[in-house]
Chain A
Amino acid sequence: MAYPTNPIYKLMKNGIDVTEPDGVETMEGHIRKVIPFKSDNTDYQVYLAWVAAGNSPEAAD
């Protein structure tokens, strides 16, 4: 799995029987952040703001 660099987010659909992306990953230095699509998760809110600014994440594997 390639690290998301630019775009900085990459969609994820890992797990059992997962067919649609249900999270995103991003790197902060050496830290891999795996962010669930949950509305009260502040990392997800930052991601949504990033998308709302006109950006698009890398597609999931």
Chain B
Amino acid sequence: MASEIRVNKIINRSGLSTVTFTSDGAIVSGIVSATVYTGSGANLTDLPAGNLSGTLPAISAANLTNVPAANITGTLPAIDGSNLTGVGASFGNSSVNTSGIITATAFVSDTPLSHRNKVINGAMTISQRDTSFASTLSEAQYTVDRFHHSIRGTNDSYYYQVSDSPDGFNKSMKVKCNSTYTPSGSDNAGFATTLEGQDLQDLAFGTSSAKSITISFYAKSASQNNGHQYSFQIRSYPSGGATARTVTNSFTVTSSWQRFSFTFAGDTGADIRNDNAAGMQLLWWLDAGPTDIISQITSFTSSASYRAVTGQDHFLNNTSNEFYITGCQLEVGPVATPFEHRSVADELARCQRYYFAMCTDTYEILGTGHQYYSGNIFIPVYFPTTMRSEPTLEALAGGSGAYVYEKLFGNSAQYHHQISQETGKTGHNQSCIIMSGDASRQGQTVRCAAHSFGSDTQRFVAFQAEL
């Protein structure tokens, strides 16, 4: 027979703890202990954190929130990161490297994604004047397009456009020591390329926002000068004719192609002139006299001098010394990005702003001229691109009586040994070539052409507006 006790409250002997029975349960005022508890713990609340200890069971962490970042340590598992959001700031100044593909709605870069390379013809693909410059060159005489000889003292170096090049390139400029010389004092010998100031204003030099710049290039030596240390110098030209600003660095070539790169902090101390004159010159010194060899200049400093770096070797000490260079790139930012290859057409057009080889072979046409009453023929010439300045005409000239140029009135050919240009009417976009004519033919048009002069490799007519 079942039995039961019906009470609403039980009090222990000391009277300190009770069990009170309500209409829907029991309330214990003391400590509850048992060997086993069964039933749902769903309504357990307000558990003190200190009482949650031991090993967490293998449960889902789906509802974990407010986990402090400092408590997330250790190695991330190889998980799918497809849902990572808001990670931009957390990358800070770190680099992200991947061998996979990165796609995005947009890429926003502090540096240009195209037109990065400030150097024109950095891959040495264009050489309008010739491909061999095997004669004694004068100061600032151009070789491969946009690159010119530089000399104080003696620099008997020959230049060539050659096919020897690192993978991914097909041309380089070769410099060869033609005769030995020991530089003294402020002598220096090398080559340079010069950039217009108006193309460098994005560097923000002369402001607190001046941007760092990085130069990179590929170079190698012959076996004779393997291990030689040479110097690189930048000279920037502030507005108002202030003293040039300069930085330097050194590099050691071997007989194998290497890529070199140097980054220089932007110049907050001086601007760059903002016009079509020289704004910056990049110089490679293969030799220098002792006066010009000093410690590396790591930040832009006012200096009118040409400088090489301590440890400079002497390219002119042996006629077997050779230096090859290609892939020259000057870009904004602290990193040397891959070389920006441009098409030959693009590069040629850029070069023609400074030099336009108009007539490069026998019988090539100068143009159709107009016989003026004075006896001169005026031949209008339009340049393929706007030139940097009103250019100089460079035209082959033979001795008096030489058949260098030809004019055709109908079937009558006549010859001249030289031509000229109408300097007062030369512009950035056009010029007017002058050839002696025949006053009796006034008012007639005439076909004018190159005719012959020595080797066919000679450039008959060119316009130059170099820096």
- The residues in A between 19 and 45 inclusive whose CB is less than 8 angstroms from any CB of B are 22-23, 25, 27, 30-38, 40-44
For residue B389, CB closer than 8 A to chain A, the reply is: yes
Q: A23-B424, A42-B466 are in contact. Are A34 and B389 (CB under 8 A)?
A: no
Across the interface, do B389 and A41 meet the contact criterion of CB distance under 8 Å?
A: yes
Across the interface, do B423 and A36 meet the contact criterion of CB distance under 8 Å?
A: yes
How many pairs of A and B residues are in contact by the CB < 8 Å rule?
Answer: 87
For residue B418, CB closer than 8 A to chain A, the reply is: yes
CA distance A29 to B390 in the complex (A): 23
- Residues on the A chain within 8 Å of B140, using CB: 42
Q: A15-B434, A41-B391, A42-B466 are in contact. Are A36 and B424 (CB under 8 A)?
A: yes
CA distance A22 to B424 in the complex (A): 6
- Residues on the B chain within 8 Å of A43, using CB: 392, 464
Across the interface, do A16 and B389 meet the contact criterion of CB distance under 8 Å?
A: no
The listed residue (B423, B432, B434) touching A22 by CB distance below 8 A is B423
- The residues in B between 417 and 444 inclusive whose CB is less than 8 angstroms from any CB of A are 418-426, 432, 434
> Which secondary structure dominates chain B's binding surface?
loop
Across the interface, do B389 and A32 meet the contact criterion of CB distance under 8 Å?
A: no
The listed residue (A1, A27, A34, A40) touching B423 by CB distance below 8 A is A34
- Residues on the A chain within 8 Å of B426, using CB: 36, 38
The listed residue (B388, B393, B453) touching A33 by CB distance below 8 A is B393
Across the interface, do B374 and A32 meet the contact criterion of CB distance under 8 Å?
A: no
- Residues on the B chain within 8 Å of A12, using CB: 420, 423
Q: A15-B422, A23-B423, A43-B464 are in contact. Are A34 and B376 (CB under 8 A)?
A: no
CA distance A41 to B464 in the complex (A): 9
Across the interface, do B376 and A27 meet the contact criterion of CB distance under 8 Å?
A: no
Across the interface, do A25 and B420 meet the contact criterion of CB distance under 8 Å?
A: yes
Which of B150-158, B306-314, B394-402 lies at the interface with chain A?
Answer: B394-402
Across the interface, do A32 and B394 meet the contact criterion of CB distance under 8 Å?
A: yes
Q: A41-B465, A42-B466, A42-B467 are in contact. Are A16 and B395 (CB under 8 A)?
A: no
- Residues on the A chain within 8 Å of B466, using CB: 42
Chain B min CB distance to A40 (Å):
4
Q: A16-B374, A36-B426 are in contact. Are A31 and B395 (CB under 8 A)?
A: yes
CA distance A40 to B389 in the complex (A): 6
Chain B min CB distance to A44 (Å):
8
Can you name 29 A-B residue pairings with CB atoms under 8 Å? A3-B397, A12-B423, A14-B422, A14-B423, A15-B424, A16-B374, A16-B378, A23-B423, A30-B398, A30-B454, A31-B395, A31-B396, A32-B393, A32-B394, A32-B397, A32-B418, A32-B419, A33-B393, A34-B395, A35-B423, A36-B390, A36-B423, A38-B426, A40-B389, A41-B391, A42-B140, A42-B389, A42-B466, A42-B467
Not counting A14-B423, A32-B420, A41-B389, a sample of 18 additional A-B residue pairs whose C-beta atoms are within 8 angstroms of each other reads: A12-B420, A14-B434, A15-B423, A22-B423, A30-B453, A31-B395, A31-B396, A32-B394, A32-B395, A32-B419, A34-B421, A34-B423, A35-B392, A36-B426, A37-B423, A41-B465, A42-B467, A43-B392
A residues with a Cβ closer than 8 A to B are: 1, 3, 12, 14-16, 18, 22-23, 25, 27, 30-38, 40-44
User: Ordered nearest first, which 9 A-B pairs have the shortest CB separation?
Assistant: A23-B423, A22-B424, A15-B422, A36-B423, A32-B397, A40-B389, A38-B390, A34-B393, A43-B392
